[in-house]
Structure 1
């Protein structure tokens, strides 16, 4: 956990936000927030804290999933998750397992015979660009049948 994330958690906890709310806003697990708060002495009874405050609800700030910078959400506009396109691309490249892909196809490469999966409508014949080059310019072909 970075120092910036620690300071954000401390600030939000001092404003009496719950572990769940902080975790959701920062994109980390509840266990991470809870353990940090307990180690830093930020754990406590929130019911007593809310009784002493006014009845006006606080709005939870949101933070960029990549760099942790605070985001300003505007009304009637889609909820932002990233501060910039660069942060968005960086985060999605670092988390490819979270991408929801549709319509997978599994085929064998015409050059090396290795099975590979591709997504989308356009039909793929080669697993990599190198296999395409070998097949195209060197005439390398797999001995087994293709699917």
Structure 2
């Protein structure tokens, strides 16, 4: 690979071109382009400074956020803001561990989050079931 091809790879990657598009333009293998980018830390298109300020603001307080390239996108400026926001918006969570049951004591259907072993809909039903066993 020539030095001009290396420079062109840097330019095309900076513009957001894919490995395949760069390889086709330069007439080299896609894997060659991919290997060069990995060796030179140019994996992602639109590579920027590691501590670049973006338009992002904290979801809770509106404070400007500083995003780190290569890291997960920040939504909150601090742990305090994160905890406050989730406490105020519990419905925004992606709840996957919701289980549906029928109470053996009263027969009502109920849901439980995060506990697949739950048996009773309330503490009253659980205690009445315990009392019924011992009598």
Greater RCO, 1 or 2 (C-alpha within 8 Å, sep 6+): 1
Instruction: Identify the TM-score tier after normalising by the shorter chain.
Output: 0.3 to 0.5
The alignment's TM-score, normalised by the length of structure 1, stands at 0.42
Bigger radius of gyration among the two? 2
Q: Which has the higher strand share?
A: 2
